[in-house]
Structure 1
Amino acid sequence: MRISTVTMYEQGVSAMNRQQADFTEVGQQIASGKRVVNPSDDPRDASRAVGVSQSLAVNAQQESSRTTARNSLGQEESVLNSVSDAIGSAKSLVVQAGNGTLSDADRESLASDLEGAYETLVGLGNTTDGNGTYLFSGYQDNAKAFSRTDTGDGGVDTISYEGDQGVKQQKVDAERSMNTSDTGSDVFMKFSSGSEYIAEAGEDNTGSMTFSGPDVRDADADGYGETFDITFNGDGTYDIASSGAEYADQTNVAYSEGETIEFGGMALTLEGEPADGDTLNVTPGGDMNEEQASLFKTIGDTINALRQPVETDADQAALDNTLSTANRKLDASLDNVLTTRASVGARMNELDALDDVGGNREIAYEQTRSDLVDLDYNSAISDYMLSQVGLQASQKSFADIQQMSLFQYLN
């Protein structure tokens, strides 16, 4: 069988092209550092690598979300720290105002100092982040959390919450969505569920009766945890009515000045002479509504009380009762803020733990992807050298075949 010159040329070129393709492929792998440069190089591993890359992208997005959440919580924690300091300052002034030797002018000075703490708290409640978003407005990003209304009688402005009850969340891990904020009503107008009882004298009281307490005597007593209303009658007796069914209401109980009365596991010490129709309300702190628990109302009522001249025993009793209630409410407000701050800290600690998990997950994903598509340089360089030798051999062989002709041997 005779082999034509064309056939020899075609076979030589084909061999060189194959060697050139192999040489180029290995060169691309070395240049890119990847064993799988194109999906066709290894369809199965290329497909798996795409899935791993998607997992890496999701992990990176979650890491970014955790950074955003940490920034939000960090700013809230800083504000809550300032709120705690302001409440502590206000409480110190309230305690100081209870000094019976103070004059009206002295109390006016304390009221001015207390108003400074009040304004500080209003400003903290309306804190914004770097984007102008209000921290404590819930979902109402562009609305102030708290607005003020002039009472019209020269008293401290009334503060009301204008945000909603929405709590912003951030997805910080595959199965974890975290609250990244707290509402202003929960921070400034609420007491913790475990807050102690708080007693308040009626706004229309005209007698000189004052109270101290209440103190817990028996948390297992019938009626403990209920709300109590004490009403004083003009005949020297009082009635105790409960909001629940466990405590048996009392009526026409003889009042004796300086006595400690007990009801529902609570003890309350009474001094002075109540007037007909005077009342006391004793409520668990955690059951108080937003108006009763409002930090702003507590301080505002105290400021207004300090600015009232004390001329009679009834005036002094009203001031003492206001200060006693304010003292208890400020303690409850501080406890609530500290509880919220602890919750913020716990969430930040959780973010740190999730960062560690995410970092380990990223390392594992990177290793898996590397195993699928990255290049073994030792093997690749060996293949590269072998391909180069093969290419050079095919080129030399082709060149030699080109030289072959019978005419070279004819003289």
Structure 2
Amino acid sequence: MRVSTTMMFERSVASMNRQQSEFLDVGEQIASGKRVVRPSDDPQAAAQALGVSQSLATNSQQSDSRVTARNALSQEESVLDSVTDALTRAKELMVQAGNGTLSDADRESMASELEGVYEALLGQANSTDGNGNYLFAGYQDSAAPFVKNADGAVEYSGSESVRQQKVDSSRLMEIGDTGSDVFQSVASGAGYLAEAGADNAGTLTFTGPSIADTSDAGYGDSYTISFDADAAPTTYTVTNTDGDEVVSAAEYQSGQAIEFGGVRLTLEGEPETGDTIEVGKAADMDPDIFTTFENMLSALQNPLDSDEDKAAFANTLSTASRQMDNALDNVLTVRASVGSRLSELDTLDTVGSDREIAYTQTQSDLIDLDYNTAVSDYVLRQVGLQAAQKAFVELQGTSLFEMM
């Protein structure tokens, strides 16, 4: 093979350039702290690192979502705490209202305080977050969920669905509760409720209802007790929602406890013909806390001039007290649900932190630099480059003509 001076120079320059390139590559790795500076350095590791990087970004996004969800639920829990206090105070006022020694003026004064609690509760039901969105309006969070109609009654105008937030790869969490679920519902364990007819004219009062037999075939149904005082003695008839008579023209006695459909109810006083009592599951008897307040306010503000008025007041108080208990139980159930979701977010944060550490470690194993190895390579490449440069300098002083 012909060996020319040009060839020797070209090979020396190529060797020097190669050594310099390798030296600079190691220097770039040390400067960046990465073994894989560009995909061509290790295509397989670069591709795997890209997948891990996407997983890290997703995990970070889910962490941000949990912050948003926690803020919303924490605000709701704070409002529900105030709602609990309001309902507790309302219950205390109702217990006081049952004192037979109170005068009309005393009850009127009590109504004033109860009205203040009512307005405060309405304000809490229309609470907003830091961005002006209504907490209990569901998806329709740009408008107040509870508004008073022309008759002064409070109506719910929000959505029946709540916003959801993806707080983990496989967890879609509700970050609120609708106003109807909080203020117009009862807990699943709520029992029976009794309510006297609005047009009752006698002195009939009731105590209860209580559960007598849950295995009764009619348990869970709703019933109407109707009275006939034209006959002697007075009789009562119990019909279910289908209009079937469960108890037919039974003799009524004041102070007796009657049973039907697995329910027991104690009756006192003297009913008039046409007087009725509705008995049914609390969930089926308008469990609206604002309606309960309105009924109780009306009862407190009306003077008790007759035995009939006193009986109507006692029945309203009995029904309202049970409804208030059910409302309080329901709010506590919702609060427990909110607390459970907040606790779950804490758990997901812990899992997310562990996942981030694992992803970061995997990414580091794939592309990060081993400085000990890199420094050793750096020194080795530097020696190689210096040797190539020295060889080139030596080559410059030689010529094939000197060997002839």
- 1:241 equivalent in alignment to 2:236: no
CA apart distance, 1:243:
2.4
Letter of the structure 2 residue corresponding to residue 207 of structure 1: G
CA apart distance, 1:3:
3.2
Q: Distance in 2 between matches of 1:196 and 1:387?
A: 84
Letter of the structure 2 residue corresponding to residue 264 of structure 1: G
Extract unaligned runs of 5+ from structure 1.
152-156
Corresponding residue number in structure 1 for 2:329: 335
The residue correspondences of 1:9-408 to structure 2 (distance < 5 A) are 9-151=9-151, 157-234=152-229, 235=231, 236-243=234-241, 249-288=246-285, 292-405=286-399
Letter of the structure 1 residue corresponding to residue 350 of structure 2: D
CA apart distance, 1:27:
0.5
CA apart distance, 1:403:
2.3
DSSP-derived class of the 1:35 partner: coil
Corresponding residue number in structure 2 for 1:154: none
Please tell me whether the aligned partners of residues 193 and 287 of structure 1 are also in contact (alpha carbons under 8 angstroms): no
Please tell me whether the aligned partners of residues 192 and 282 of structure 2 are also in contact (alpha carbons under 8 angstroms): yes
Q: Distance in 1 between matches of 2:159 and 2:226?
A: 37
Extract unaligned runs of 5+ from structure 2.
none
Deviations 1:67-113 (A, max 9, x none): 11111111111111111111000000011011111111100000001
Deviations 1:191-234 (A, max 9, x none): 12220111100111111111111111222223111111101112
Deviations 1:178-203 (A, max 9, x none): 11111000100011222011110011
CA apart distance, 1:163:
0.4
Please tell me whether the aligned partners of residues 237 and 245 of structure 2 are also in contact (alpha carbons under 8 angstroms): no
DSSP-derived class of the 1:249 partner: strand
Q: Which contiguous aligned blocks of 4+ residues in structure 1 show a shift greater than 6 angstroms?
A: 406-409
Please report the RMSD computed on the Cα atoms of aligned residues, expressed in angstroms: 1.7
Letter of the structure 2 residue corresponding to residue 16 of structure 1: M
Q: Distance in 1 between matches of 2:401 and 2:337?
A: 98
Please tell me whether the aligned partners of residues 226 and 244 of structure 1 are also in contact (alpha carbons under 8 angstroms): no
Letter of the structure 1 residue corresponding to residue 314 of structure 2: D
Letter of the structure 1 residue corresponding to residue 383 of structure 2: V
DSSP-derived class of the 2:78 partner: helix
Please tell me whether the aligned partners of residues 213 and 268 of structure 1 are also in contact (alpha carbons under 8 angstroms): yes
Deviations 1:148-199 (A, max 9, x none): 1242xxxxx3100010111110111111101111100010001122201111
DSSP-derived class of the 2:354 partner: helix
Letter of the structure 1 residue corresponding to residue 132 of structure 2: G
DSSP-derived class of the 2:319 partner: helix
Letter of the structure 2 residue corresponding to residue 29 of structure 1: Q
Task: Report the CA distance shift for 1:158/1:110 in structure 2 as closer, same or farther (over 3 A).
Answer: same
Task: Report the CA distance shift for 1:91/1:405 in structure 2 as closer, same or farther (over 3 A).
Answer: same
Please tell me whether the aligned partners of residues 192 and 285 of structure 1 are also in contact (alpha carbons under 8 angstroms): no
Letter of the structure 1 residue corresponding to residue 277 of structure 2: L
Letter of the structure 2 residue corresponding to residue 303 of structure 1: L
Please tell me whether the aligned partners of residues 193 and 285 of structure 1 are also in contact (alpha carbons under 8 angstroms): no
Q: Distance in 2 between matches of 1:41 and 1:287?
A: 71
Please tell me whether the aligned partners of residues 5 and 399 of structure 2 are also in contact (alpha carbons under 8 angstroms): no
Q: Distance in 2 between matches of 1:285 and 1:365?
A: 52
